[in-house]
Amino acid sequence: MFDFLAYPLGKFLKFIYDITFENYGLAIIIFTFIVRLALLPLTVKQQKSTMKMQELQPLINDIQKRYKDDREAMNQELMKLYQEHNYNPAGGCLPLLIQMPLILALYWVIVQPLKFMLGKSSEAIEAIVNAAAKAQAAVNASLGLENLPITAENILRSWGSHREIRALNFFNEHQDMLSEVSNFLDKSELIDFRSFLGLHLGEVASFQPGVIFGPEWKIYLPLFILAVVATVTTYLSSRLSMPKTNDQQSGASGCSANSMMYIGPIMTLMLSFQLPAGVVLYWMTGYVFAIFQQLYINKFVLKKDKPAEAAASAGGKGGRTASKEESQEGNNGKIDSGDDASAKQLPSGQNKGKANKAGGKKGGSKKGGKKKK
């Protein structure tokens, strides 16, 4: 489906593999970082849109409550809100729609090296995979172990959609059998999956203690550690990218966000024991990049918008405070304009008391005048 993207990306990965002294793991890391770096502007745009949506969510909820029985009016009010805040609801979806095909294409580049890295035809791929499956079945049968498949059909079924990387890995480890596919695969085209820190990136990790600490522990113990590290990086990346919610926005949305934060690591842990380690390394590298990317966005991108928003908010509050003070000053001017106005401002009982006092003082002064006379 995304072959038009996967072919150039596969050639690019093969180029990096060649210039990194045929170190497959290092090539995956460099390849992933370069592609993710190219996608960084889209990611920043998506993060800004998400933050803006989070800020407007209380206003959106209020509009939805007020116009829950009138959908047309609700849509009109929402459009006004979006226009006032210069927000495009589809602004966060477009970057994601552009990134997803690239991320999926990167995955297929890793699991189908014969097609995208080496540029083999469908006929050549079929011949190489079938020959590797038959040879692997013969090797398994010679070992005499019960839990190993001994037919080519069962081998292909166990390889699944990762049969290309498994077949290429088989011929890399059994180069003496390359004569069976000499018309389709040359020794110079083999990819060394064990050239990065001792990790066998063509094998699948196991969670069984007997395999991890068994005779081939040098292969499966590092792969188990890789699976654990990939799970931890997935959790850290999910936690950093999770937007902060206030009390009004917590609740159902907060529960959903928390569940998503744990679903990702659980999925990574499960798939790490089903996919070749090269795919796990690709995922882990992507999540490590996402962690530093999120730290950069939080510190240098999103914080730049906060002072402007704070200033605008302070300006709005200042304007409201000033108008409030002006209205109070205007009211004070009216109150001080005469005794009648002051009398109006007092309760009725106090008005009578004040009037009586005033009358008493006037009467006393008159009586005193008569006595002096």
pLDDT confidence tier of residue 262, bands split at 50, 70 and 90: confident
The more confidently predicted of residues 338 and 280 is 280
Do the domain assignments include residue 315? no
In terms of domains, do 273 and 286 share one?
yes
Cα(349)–Cα(109) distance, integer angstroms? 89
Do the domain assignments include residue 99? yes
pLDDT digits (tens, 9 = 90+) for 200-243: 998 889 999 988 998 889 999 999 999 999 999 999 988 887 76
Cα(224)–Cα(212) distance, integer angstroms? 7
Do the domain assignments include residue 353? no
Q: Single out the residue of 20, 31, 23, 30 nearest to residue 199, CA to CA.
A: 23
Cα 84 to Cα 51, 91, 245, 310: the distances in Å are 16, 16, 23, 17
In terms of domains, do 225 and 131 share one?
no
In terms of domains, do 211 and 133 share one?
no
In terms of domains, do 63 and 16 share one?
yes
In terms of domains, do 203 and 283 share one?
yes
In terms of domains, do 61 and 148 share one?
no
pLDDT digits (tens, 9 = 90+) for 141-177: 888 777 888 899 999 998 988 899 999 999 999 999 9
Q: Single out the residue of 48, 29, 112, 97 nearest to residue 309, CA to CA.
A: 48
Q: What is the CA radius of gyration of the chain?
A: 37
In terms of domains, do 169 and 204 share one?
no
Q: Single out the residue of 243, 293, 226 nearest to residue 49, CA to CA.
A: 243
Do the domain assignments include residue 176? yes
In terms of domains, do 183 and 168 share one?
yes
pLDDT value at 11 more than 80: yes
In terms of domains, do 208 and 144 share one?
no
pLDDT confidence tier of residue 304, bands split at 50, 70 and 90: low
pLDDT confidence tier of residue 136, bands split at 50, 70 and 90: very high
In terms of domains, do 265 and 146 share one?
no
For residue 80, the enclosing domain spans 3-117+191-245+256-306
Do the domain assignments include residue 370? no
Do the domain assignments include residue 311? no
Report the share of the chain in percent with pLDDT over 70: 75
Residues 6+ apart with CB under 8 A from 261: 235, 238, 239, 242
Do the domain assignments include residue 363? no
Do the domain assignments include residue 327? no
pTM over 0.75: no
In terms of domains, do 59 and 144 share one?
no
| Structural domains counted in the chain | 2
